[in-house]
Structure 1
Amino acid sequence: MVDIDEWLAEAVGSYIVYAPPLSGTTSFVDEVGSKRDGETLLVGATRGLDRTPRSALESVSSFVDCTPTESERTASVGSPGDLTGVSMPVSEFLRAADEPVLAVDSVSTLLYYAEEATVFRFLSVLTAHIGRSDGLGLFVMTPSAHDEQTVHTFEQAFDGRIDLESDRVRVQAPDDSEAPEGWCSR
């Protein structure tokens, strides 16, 4: 078993990241990206690039903004409900990148704008892409914003789960014997 930093640097697969609001999910994505060799793409469904602190994006090489914005390193989609629009730059990124990190912040926002079954299929396609590319997927969800059945249903689409709080993190990866056990400091 390795410590959390070592595990995050080498982990592959797709993980649902359970995090309460204001727990530093964008900073966590940046921390993970800075530990890895591959490129990082952040899908910002909750807030756009203009409202995301630059210090939280240092290792993020690409950004899909679900609010209308356009820049050199940003693909823009008019709404978080436009999952086809989101999937195009994400698929292109995953095909081109070696050992990519894909982060979606947040699944909860996608569920607000699109039907549950549609979001589930969308995430299933993304997790399959990540699996083929030996990448790492981090999909943020606020469990308290959903009923228990929805949370349980979506958890099944992933290889494991990461619980994130402002000062600590816990990994639950049943098929990964190297995953750290218990809560670790961030």
Structure 2
Amino acid sequence: MDYQLAIENAPKTIPAGTGILLIHPSTGETDRIDTDFFKTDTDQFLVISTRTTAREVTQKLEYYDVNEDRAEILDTLSVERGYSRRRRDDVSYVSAPDDIKGIIEETEKFLTENEGKLKLSLDSVTELAYYADVESALKTVDQITSLLKEHDAVGLFHLSKEVHDDDVLETFRERFLIIIELSEDGSVSVESKI
């Protein structure tokens, strides 16, 4: 099974099981790439948010006119920060951004319980590394990409280039067949190993 990919300069389609690394500047506007990724050829999608709350993710989806009926959100921030958590069928929570076990369990649950073309976004790997450590972030990426292959899904993984050393960036890059780089001026370049 292939997925259409409506991202500037990227391949038109990618095979199921593919993980995509999005390397961006800290101030980069990644929302457009994220939401274009979700809008195309998707039955259900999961946003794993280690950077913003479920409410902020919902606002982003509304702003970019993404079909929210297809969305599920994993909020990793609200519990730790003591924010109120509104009970919704499409939102789940884990205790903190470094709750790796909880993130993997919720990801597997989403992929197991839904059918069709499934996508997910981990926004962001950098925040995960900040709250846990780089090694834990790498292990999480490895576990999620294995789940993508197992369930014929695809995923987009956000990584901020200013925060990590070159060797850390390279270690992440080696794990992906498609690497999208967003520059400060908003231009997009894509490296595909497919």
**What letter is aligned with 2:191?**
Q
Cα distance, 1:33–1:155 mapped onto 2, change above 3 Å: same
The residue type equivalent to 1:31 in the other structure is: D
Between the two proteins, the alignment pairs up a number of residues equal to: 173
Asked if structure 1 preserves the Cα contact closer than 8 Å seen for 2:98 and 2:128, the reply is: yes
Match among 111, 122, 129 for residue 94 of structure 1 = 111
- Cα 1:21–1:116 shift into 2, 3 Å: closer
Contact 2:11/2:192 (8 A) holds in 1: no
Give the letter for the 1:94 counterpart.
L
Q: CA deviation at 1:22?
A: 3.8
- What is residue 73 of structure 2 aligned with on the other side? 63
Q: Which residue of 1 aligns with 2:174?
A: 156
- Is 1:10–1:36's contact at 8 Å kept on the other side of the alignment? no
For 1:44, the equivalent position in structure 2 comes to 49
For 2:34 and 2:145, locate their aligned partners in 1 and report how far apart those are by CA, in whole Å.
Answer: 17
Q: How many angstroms does 1:158 deviate by?
A: 1.7
**1:49-128 map, 5 Å:** 49-52=54-57, 53=59, 54-56=62-64, 58-59=66-67, 61-68=71-78, 69-70=85-86, 71-97=88-114, 98-128=116-146
Q: Deviations over 1:14-47 (max 9, x none)?
A: 0110011343323322211111133111111111
The one-character-per-residue Cα deviations of 1:96-152 (angstroms, maximum 9, x if unpaired) are 332211100000000001122222111101101112222221000001101111111
TM-score (norm 1): 0.82
CA distance in 2, matches of 1:153, 1:32: 24
Please tell me whether residue 10 in structure 1 is matched to residue 13 in structure 2.
yes
Judging changes above 3 Å, is the alpha-carbon distance between structure 1 residues 4 and 64 closer, same or farther for their aligned structure 2 residues? closer
Uncovered stretches (5+) of structure 2, i.e. residues with no partner:
79-84
| Fraction of identical pairs, as percent | 18
Shift of 1:4: 6.4
1:57–1:86 CA distance, 2 compared to 1 (3 A): farther
Distance 1:148 1:57 in 2: 36
Runs of 4+ aligned structure 1 residues displaced above 6 Å come to none
Distance 1:85 1:8, change over 3 A: farther
Matched residue, 1:184: none
Unaligned stretches of 5+ residues in structure 1: 176-186
